[in-house]
């Protein structure tokens, strides 16, 4: 009988345990979990703070008793593996009571997860972290004491979700983020839309700001600002919990996680590592990366279990698809962002669009900002981002699937996606990205980005606004001349000589005008994403 010990539950550990049992009804499977909860919805924790999830029990997916009844798993909570003897193939376990004992294993699976990053700041011990059910219980108790102010240190996914849920409890909240933007996986022009949304709901932002001290009732910033804070949540990020791995000399990778092969095996082939503790392989460059997401942990747990039981497995690479709710916005991304691509020197083409979630003539359509990044000249899809309301998740999921299937960007136009007026458009936003990609890659048209406008204008390029006079009067790029699209043929003589930067509201009319001008020999390019993208990014220029 195979003896398997799993260190840590939740997504990775429990996926491995239940899959192992399905594959081998006789194996001895013991799960050691140091917290009091072995299977819970980690990603739902912030919503319990805000009362969106009213009952904490809703977050608890399984208990030791239910897992024993259904899968005959020996789950031991409030117990911690404190040492691994690789030669003897034993682990030392310490119970909450302080008692210790040893367990033999044939295969050991490490799934201890990640630890919150807590910087060495004076007074930081007063800050709460949000990682476990115990953490959220303490924060909920602090919220129940009616704090008059709160500071969230960190503007990543957990930080933004925490801030939103504190606002749901009517607590004035400030997010302090050391980077110049929230939500690092998206590019700055889309992050500006997020900034506007959180500010609209009363959250104050301190961007590009470092914390130097956490006091009894405030947080002090590097510039001397003191922000009121009866409640402080530290949500800077997480790092792999490699304590056990380091102690038993397993190989640690360049990103600080445990090095594993495509099957999840560590440098000791009898020990597997899965979930947040293990480094992943980036699908784009083949290098090690860290992606602390539950869906990847679940997948790694299944792969490890299959390999342990001698089944053929598929390698797991990651493209980092993620999504977060920010008040009334949905923010999603997949693959690499433009910041990362540029830092790596990748020659990429960005495409911005602002489509509706469904047909505009059907009530309730919501506009989104959609960004696609592709390589030149082959059109490989490198990443995508979307910010908006309804329909954001669907478009990012389609693009993530296209990336997984190595679909070139122009072939997005060929996808037959479900269409009816309440759900989409005859040319879905994803299809439109494919059409635009094809136009750009074949040289039929050319675009420039929002950050190119200012330097190009300074060099003498002409800005041509082809929106209506009313739109132009309502706001335009300084220095632009206005000739509406439908008047260009009659007023062609008014267009100055030189290179023309054409723009409309979202890029579609600008494309038509650019093609028309190029047909007449004018050196014209279209402003990608139009005025809407430019004006969102204007604070960055």
CB 322 within 8 A of CB 157: yes
In 456-523, DSSP assigns E strands to 462-465, 481-482, 500-503
String of DSSP letters for 364-433: T--B-EEEEEEETTT--EEEEEEEESTTHHHHHHHHHHHHHTT--GGGGGG------TTT--SS-HHHHH
Catalytic residue among 43, 234, 405, 504: 43
* For residue 200, cis peptide bond before it (omega within 30 degrees of 0): no
Other CB atoms closer than 10 Å to residue 323's CB: what's the count? 15
Task: Count CA atoms closer than 13 A to 468's CA, side-chain side.
Answer: 3
- Tokens 């054409």 belong to residue: 502
Catalytic residue list contains 234: no
DSSP conformation class of 128 = B
> For the chain, how are helix, strand and coil distributed in percent, rounded to 5?
35, 25, 40
* CA separation for the pair 76, 67 (Å, rounded): 11
Pairing status of strand 481-482 against strand 231-234: unpaired
Question: What span, in angstroms and rounded, lies between the C-alpha atoms of 350 and 541?
Answer: 17
Catalytic residues: 43
């Amino acid at each position: 009988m195979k003896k398997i010990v799993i260190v840590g539950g939740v997504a990775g550990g429990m996926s491995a345990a239940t899959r192992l049992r399905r594959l081998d009804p006789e194996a001895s499977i013991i799960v050691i979990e140091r917290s009091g909860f072995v299977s819970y919805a980690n990603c739902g924790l912030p919503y319990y703070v805000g009362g969106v999830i009213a009952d904490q029990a809703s977050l608890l997916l399984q208990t030791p008793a239910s897992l024993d009844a259904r899968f005959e798993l020996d789950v031991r909570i409030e117990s911690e593996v404190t040492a691994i003897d690789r030669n003897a193939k034993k682990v030392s376990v310490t119970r909450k009571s302080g008692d210790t004992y040893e367990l033999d294993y044939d295969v050991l699976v490490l799934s201890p997860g990640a630890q919150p990053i807590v910087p060495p700041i004076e007074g930081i011990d007063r800050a709460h972290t949000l990682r476990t059910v115990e953490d959220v219980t303490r924060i909920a108790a602090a919220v129940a004491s009616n704090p008059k102010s709160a500071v969230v240190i960190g503007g990543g996914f957990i930080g933004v979700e925490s801030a939103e849920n504190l606002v749901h409890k009517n607590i004035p909240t400030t997010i302090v983020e050391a980077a110049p933007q929230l939500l690092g996986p998206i590019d700055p022009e889309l992050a500006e839309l997020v900034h506007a949304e959180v500010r609209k709901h009363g959250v104050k932002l301190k961007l590009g700001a470092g914390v130097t001290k956490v006091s009894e009732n405030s947080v002090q910033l590097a510039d001397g600002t003191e922000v009121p804070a009866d409640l402080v949540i530290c949500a800077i990020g997480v790092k792999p919990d490699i304590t056990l791995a380091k102690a038993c000399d397993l190989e640690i990778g360049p990103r600080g996680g445990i090095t594993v092969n495509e099957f999840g095996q560590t440098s000791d082939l009898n020990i597997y590592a899965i979930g947040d503790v293990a480094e992943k392989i980036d699908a784009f460059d083949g290098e090690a990366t860290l992606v602390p997401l539950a869906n990847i942990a679940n997948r790694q747990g299944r792969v490890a279990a299959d390999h342990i039981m001698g089944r053929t497995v598929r390698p797991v690479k990651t493209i980092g698809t993620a999504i977060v709710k920010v008040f009334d916005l949905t923010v999603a991304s997949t693959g690499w962002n433009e910041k990362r691509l540029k830092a790596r020197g990748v020659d990429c083409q960005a495409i911005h669009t602002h489509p509706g979630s469904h047909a505009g003539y059907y009530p309730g359509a919501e506009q989104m900002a959609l960004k696609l990044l592709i390589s030149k000249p082959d059109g490989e899809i490198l990443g995508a981002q979307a910010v908006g309301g309804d329909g954001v998740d669907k478009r990012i999921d389609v693009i993530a699937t296209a990336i997984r299937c190595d679909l070139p960007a122009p072939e997005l136009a060929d996808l037959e996606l479900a269409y009816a007026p309440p759900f989409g458009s005859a040319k879905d936003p994803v299809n439109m990205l494919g059409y635009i990609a094809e136009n750009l890659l074949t040289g039929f048209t050319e675009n420039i980005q929002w950050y190119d406008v200012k330097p190009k204008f300074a060099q003498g390029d002409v800005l041509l606004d082809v929106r209506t006079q009313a739109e132009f009067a309502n706001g335009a790029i300084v220095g632009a001349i206005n000739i509406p699209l439908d008047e260009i043929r009659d007023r062609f003589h008014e267009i100055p000589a030189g290179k023309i930067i054409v723009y409309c509201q979202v890029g579609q009319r600008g494309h038509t005008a650019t093609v028309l001008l190029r047909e007449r020999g004018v050196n014209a390019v279209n402003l990608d994403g139009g005025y809407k993208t430019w004006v969102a990014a204007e604070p960055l220029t």
